[in-house]
Chains A and B, each alone.
Chain A
Amino acid sequence: MGTFIIRRLGQMLLTALCLTFIVFFMTNLTPNLEKLAKTQGNFRMSDEAVNSWLSDRGYLAPLPYKFGQWVGVAPGWTNEKTDNVGQTVVTGRCFLAATPVEDRAQFCGVLQGFWGYSSVFKTDVDALVAKRLSATGKLMGFVLLLMVPMALIVGILAGMREGSNLDRTLSTFSIASTATPEYVSGVIFIALLASSKFGISPILADWGWIDTKTLFLGSAKKAVDDATFRNFFLPVLTISLYGMGYIARMTRASMAEVMTAQYIRTARLKGVSFRNVVMKHALRNALIAPFTVIMLQVPWLLNGVVIVEYLFAYDGFGRLLVEAARGNDIELLMAISVVSVILVLLTQLISDIGYVFLNPRIRIS
């Protein structure tokens, strides 16, 4: 087990390194750097001005060297310039012009705990990412709370009597939910439940059942600090629905398989009631496979999170990704890709380890 985890961690490190290098390469392509210079400087800069802006900030160094600076194994760039008073001003990646010479660090990168400075948000990357991650963590937590029990119940009910009417109705429901991407269901929910002119809100307001104009809010902007049922339910529901169908179908398949097993038949023949067979004999074995699926679903939820945060204007990690990518915010994008790759690989690792613990038939040698 120990060597297995160490090998997986090594693989994780290699993947993270490759992936961040690809992101670094893509964001450091010449047209992207020009765009960055123009958005940060001004839009009518000449090519020469763009070049000097970029070289002053160390963007024109060779790519591996720049990547080394970001990792923290190559010395950060420094730049000497004479200002209009005639004094030499030294700027650098690791210090400000005002920092005393003896305090100036030579290396500053991820290894030193320096994640860089966001050019879009004008703040330190690590604090920004941490804040946004906690907001998204809240969203994900509620999503899992709603999605997992719902999916398991639907899957177990459908799988316990395969081919029955109940199974057919619930299976159709789960297929429909996997066929509805977040941007479709989100838009439909907003139109039906959060529009003051369309859907059920105007009717309810007419009847005097709700005091406010709409039943739910179409914007979750305030939910970051103060989440209420009214402003937070729609985003949570939107993400949960799309992810739910898949888990439910996996649970159904697993449950249906367990229900045909010999020991279930034996229990039935001994006269154990159907309810007890399902609850005591079938359930535990049927839940091994869905556990893996749920864990592997977590990184996949990240996509839904991006779409839903963008649609409902919720200031979380997903919206951060969109804004960073739009502004070609290199260091922020790097931090975001590190976080997401760790999320993906960590959930894979947990699902593998958990599978071993839950299923005594599997041994890792």
Chain B
Amino acid sequence: MEPLTWTGSLSFLNLFFGLAVGIFAIMVAVQVITSLFAKEQTIHIKSDGTAATGAGIGGLISFAVKVTFVATLAIVMIYLLAGVVMGTEAGIFGGIAQQLTPVWFGMALIFVASIKFKRSLGLYGKLFDSTVGMIGFALVLFWVLAGVMAGVFDMIITHDSLSQASGMKNKLPGTPLRGAEDDEFNWYLLGGDNLARDVFSRLFKGAWTVVLIAPFATIFAFMVGITLGLPAGYYGGRLDTFLSFVANLILAFPVILLFYLLVTPEIVATGIPNYMAAVLFVFPVIFFGVLLNSRYHTQPKVRTPLLILILGALTWIYLALISNNGNIISTKEYNIWGLPEFLDFYDMDPSILVVFVSVVFVNAPTVFRIVRGLALDIKTRDYVAAAQTRGEGPWYIMLWEILPNARGPLIVDFCLRIGYTTILLGTLGFFGLGLESESPDWGTTINTGRTLIRAYVHPLLPPAVSLLTLVLGLNLLADGLREESLRD
């Protein structure tokens, strides 16, 4: 079988694509340079009394930028659509596009539905008014869908992410699989890595690790930061001094030193990560308990069953998360028993637990500082004074008056922080900490590919570019959200 080229039978399009991209890049550069020197646009008053700005040279350039941008986008769409139909006939890109068909369907569905109902979807709907926000959302959605489909349903991937094929070591993208069976996928779309595994499949398997850990770790960090930051800002005084000191202490650590101190097999053996998990994971339980109690404590008939139900479920999940094999902490010397095994529905992999805990630990102090600052600002508002005069309790004011009014900056920071967490996870992988060396996650793959970088770049560039696009998507999404939430 022939090795695949990048675009296969669509290669006649490459010339046009190159032209479109080239002219677009040149035009953007020209636009930047001219706008430094160009005079401001002159305004003509037309005979009917309306005013119009002359197009001038600036208008011409921005028109050219728009046209070339649309042309580039159109050619990319042709590559994609043709790829979905023709598969590997259209080269490596075609093959990839076809493998990703379910992702395209999912994205199209969500976009069409969201744009149709955007007026009734609140802040999320407003996102579809801003181009930047839409681009960011599309990038994030792509990786979330791809990660879930590849990680949970084994859909996109073409080969097993851990199995090695003979003769495929360091092979270039598009190399046919030697001795492939009929029902097997016949190519390594993005080549093989130094252990002859399929780069393409590992890339999307690795996306799942990131998509799974980063948002959850960020949610936990927010729970910790909110639960501690609100009282620190609202009460002030000694509590604030103490908590701020601890937060600054953690922030004064160089992150990588902290990771090296926390995420080593020796530290895991002492059970410290399990202690930290037991402390950090309790915050969501406290948060929801206080949240509901402060709201419904005047109606004991509603409050008591509700709290029993929710807190019971949360405590169960909490205990299931922190206990493994019936123990919360198990070291060589001693064990602390936890939830018995028949109730324990989820065993967290110890290597994921330690990564998760350390990422939450690094992120929580920053969230704490943001929430504290917002609480300090908002507690002087009139509606807080009104609630105080009504005789509301302090936790009601913090959680039901201050927190909802701080949601704008918090949502924006949440998006940014998921991106930062993704970067931190990559950093851990890059230093070979935490996850096993055969784990397909992007940081670890970059770390293993790094040693052969002078000779083979193809196992290394896909995870690097993927990480970049995901974080970029999250940052653009945050930017779009910020713009839209400031608008009203």
Assembled-state Cα–Cα distance A302/B427 (Å): 14
Q: Which of B31, B267, B431, B471 contacts A29 (CB 8 A)?
A: B267
Q: Which chain B residue has the least Cβ–Cβ distance from A11?
A: B245
B457 touches A176 (CB 8 A): no
Interface membership of chain B positions 446-461, coded 1 if the CB is closer than 8 angstroms to chain A and 0 otherwise: 1001100111010011
Does A311 lie at the interface of the complex (its beta carbon under 8 Å from any beta carbon of B)? yes
B252 touches A180 (CB 8 A): no
B contact residues around A35 at 8 Å (CB): 266
- Total interface residues on B, using CB and 8 Å? 54
B426 touches A183 (CB 8 A): yes
B contact residues around A19 at 8 Å (CB): 249, 252-253
Assembled-state Cα–Cα distance A31/B271 (Å): 11
Interface of A is mostly: helix
Q: Which chain A residue has the least Cβ–Cβ distance from B470?
A: A179
Q: Which of A32, A321, A341 contacts B266 (CB 8 A)?
A: A32
A325 touches B426 (CB 8 A): no
B contact residues around A181 at 8 Å (CB): 423, 426-427, 467, 471
Interface membership of chain B positions 403-427, coded 1 if the CB is closer than 8 angstroms to chain A and 0 otherwise: 0000000000000000100010011
Q: Which of B253, B257, B475 contacts A325 (CB 8 A)?
A: B257
Q: Which chain B residue has the least Cβ–Cβ distance from A184?
A: B464
Q: Which chain A residue has the least Cβ–Cβ distance from B40?
A: A274
Q: Smallest Cβ distance from B25 to chain A, in angstroms? A: 11
Interface membership of chain A positions 166-194, coded 1 if the CB is closer than 8 angstroms to chain B and 0 otherwise: 10011010011011110110011011001
For the A-B complex with A190-B454, A306-B256 known, give 12 more contacts whose Cβ atoms are closer than 8 Å: A15-B248, A19-B249, A26-B262, A29-B267, A31-B269, A164-B35, A166-B31, A172-B132, A191-B453, A218-B453, A303-B256, A322-B431
A191 touches B261 (CB 8 A): no
Given A29-B267, A311-B450: A183 touches B260 (CB 8 Å cut-off) = no
Does A121 lie at the interface of the complex (its beta carbon under 8 Å from any beta carbon of B)? no
Assembled-state Cα–Cα distance A187/B467 (Å): 12
B461 touches A188 (CB 8 A): yes
Listed from nearest, the 7 A-B pairs whose CB atoms lie closest are A325-B260, A31-B266, A179-B472, A191-B457, A179-B471, A166-B35, A26-B261
A325 touches B62 (CB 8 A): no
Given A322-B256, A325-B257, A326-B260: A187 touches B35 (CB 8 Å cut-off) = no
Assembled-state Cα–Cα distance A345/B272 (Å): 28
Stretch from A88-96, A98-106, A134-142, A195-203 contacting the other chain:
A195-203
Does A307 lie at the interface of the complex (its beta carbon under 8 Å from any beta carbon of B)? yes
Interchain residue pairs with CB less than 8 A apart (18): A18-B249, A31-B267, A32-B267, A161-B35, A166-B31, A175-B472, A178-B475, A181-B467, A187-B460, A190-B454, A191-B461, A197-B455, A303-B427, A325-B257, A337-B257, A340-B252, A340-B254, A345-B252
A307 touches B471 (CB 8 A): no
B252 touches A175 (CB 8 A): no
B contact residues around A307 at 8 Å (CB): 256, 427, 430
By a beta-carbon cutoff of 8 Å, the part of chain A in contact with chain B is: 15, 18-19, 23, 26-27, 29-32, 34-35, 157, 161, 164-166, 169-170, 172, 175-176, 178-181, 183-184, 187-188, 190-191, 194-199, 218, 274, 299, 302-303, 306-307, 310-311, 321-322, 325-326, 328, 333, 336-337, 340-341, 344-345
Does B32 lie at the interface of the complex (its beta carbon under 8 Å from any beta carbon of A)? yes
Does B484 lie at the interface of the complex (its beta carbon under 8 Å from any beta carbon of A)? no
Does B270 lie at the interface of the complex (its beta carbon under 8 Å from any beta carbon of A)? yes
Q: Which chain A residue has the least Cβ–Cβ distance from B58?
A: A165
B contact residues around A191 at 8 Å (CB): 453, 457, 460-461
Could you tell me which residues of chain B, from 29 to 58, have a CB within 8 Å of some CB in chain A? 31-32, 35-36, 40
B contact residues around A303 at 8 Å (CB): 254-256, 427
Given A15-B249, A166-B31, A302-B254: A175 touches B479 (CB 8 Å cut-off) = yes
Assembled-state Cα–Cα distance A15/B253 (Å): 10
Q: Smallest Cβ distance from A320 to chain B, in angstroms? A: 11
B266 touches A29 (CB 8 A): yes
A contact residues around B32 at 8 Å (CB): 165-166, 169-170
Q: Which of B132, B252, B423 contacts A15 (CB 8 A)?
A: B252
A169 touches B266 (CB 8 A): no
Q: Which chain A residue has the least Cβ–Cβ distance from B453?
A: A190
B453 touches A26 (CB 8 A): no
A contact residues around B426 at 8 Å (CB): 181, 183-184
Q: Most A CB atoms within 10 A — which of B256, B262, B446? A: B256
A218 touches B266 (CB 8 A): no
B453 touches A23 (CB 8 A): no
Interface membership of chain B positions 426-452, coded 1 if the CB is closer than 8 angstroms to chain A and 0 otherwise: 110011000000000001001001100
